[in-house]
Amino acid sequence: MTLELKPLHPVFAAEASGLDLTRPITRADACAINAAMNRYAVLVWRGQPLTAEQQIRFATTFGPLDIGLKRVFKRPERLEDERLIDISNVGMDGAVQKPDSPKNLSNFANQLWHSDSSFMNPRAAYSMLHALVLPSWGGETQFADLRAAYDALDARTRAIVEPLSAEHYALHTRILLGDDAYTDEQKKLMPPAVWPIVDTHPGSGRKVLFVGVHARQIIGMSTAESRLLMSDLIEHATERERVYTHRWEVGDLVIWDNRATLHRGRRFDLGERRELRRTTINDTPEAMLAVA
Ligand code: OGA
Ligand code: MN
């Protein structure tokens, strides 16, 4: 079987088929997936009923796994393997959580435009989200292409942002959402990471506008100017023509490159179950070379 690709959007994102991801893939297939990721940045696979083990095996083909904020929160979770990230509104008891639960706070934070783990160094390369149970309404995931966002900048803004870097902080979105009761110990566990706003995407050699809600401060600017510029850049990056909306079906696996895209979840009825499972790869030098 060989990888087949069907573009889903004029700018980026493709539907991928022709491989069975529940089985180990060959090095040649992994290389083909990497090449497709470098072109499309988001790949949608339909009908891939992966077990937890199969999803972990597939993900680790591409590099070491990243568990993001789990290091800080250390909450008991119902998923069978701690390398999996539970993107759901369901608790340890198997019940849908209350709207004001910590679980839903994470879901709300995921509804703001972000790049996974941009507050860490190394940051995240690929994330892979697999749909298990879906609500009857809403809950789509949207993606925006940051290479197209850079290309579409006007010359003046391009010159302004070129030398700038931003500090990305793990708890910034939580604090924005009114959740600020963190211990000093928790805060220390997550020192901010600094990334250039104009960066080069390693896989395609194209420039990216690396913005998102984890960016709490542009270095060397007043907080007010920094916040306004950042929100303006996020608005630009997520203009409709640069956004692909994924409408989930059970058994989908969507892979995206966090170094080239932003994403956000969309609203859904919090009383209904929504259960997805994520694996994320750290952007370490060996990660993508492992299959090059
Ligand atoms: C994620 C995420 C959005 C969603 O899993 O990293 O941001 O739609 N998810 O659940
Ligand atoms: Mn995310």
The average pLDDT across 152-176 equals 97
Would you state the pLDDT for residue 291? Answer: 56
Half-sphere exposure of 256 (CA within 13 A, CB side): 25
Would you state the pLDDT for residue 190? Answer: 87
Residue 289 lies in a domain: no
pLDDT at 72 > cutoff 90: no
**For residue 23, what are the domain limits?**
4-282
Residue 114 is classified by DSSP as: B
Q: From atom 4 of ligand 1, which residue's Cα is the shortest distance away? A: 265
pLDDT at 233 > cutoff 70: yes
Number of domains the chain contains: 1
Q: Residue 239 — φ and ψ, nearest 5°?
A: -60, 150
pLDDT at 7 > cutoff 90: yes
Non-local CB neighbours of 148 within 8 Å, separated by 6+ positions: 11, 12, 242
Residue 67 lies in a domain: yes
Would you place residue 289 in the very low, low, confident or very high pLDDT band (cuts 50, 70, 90)?
low
Residue 291 lies in a domain: no
Would you state the pLDDT for residue 187? Answer: 85
Would you state the pLDDT for residue 128? Answer: 98
Residue 292 lies in a domain: no
Integer Cα distance of 242 and 67 in angstroms = 28
The closest-lying atom of ligand 1 relative to the alpha carbon of residue 111 is: 3
Residue 108 lies in a domain: yes
How far lies 102's CA from each of 49, 87, 254, 263, in Å?
A: 28, 12, 25, 21
Residue 65 lies in a domain: yes
Residue 290 lies in a domain: no
What residues does ligand 1 touch, defined as CB less than 6 Å away?
87, 110, 116, 127, 129, 141, 263, 265, 276, 278
Distance 222 CA to ligand 1 centre (A): 31
Residue 288 lies in a domain: no
Query: What is the value of pTM for the model shown?
Result: 0.96
**Which CATH number goes with the domain that contains 162?**
3.60.130.10
Counting residues of the chain whose pLDDT is more than 70, the rounded percentage is 95
pLDDT at 200 > cutoff 70: yes
User: Which of 162-166, 173-177, 205-209, 257-261 is the least confident region?
Assistant: 173-177
The closest-lying atom of ligand 1 relative to the alpha carbon of residue 140 is: 8
Would you state the pLDDT for residue 71? Answer: 61
Distance 155 CA to ligand 2 centre (A): 30
Residue-wise pLDDT tens digits, 256-268: 999 999 999 999 9
pLDDT at 157 > cutoff 70: yes
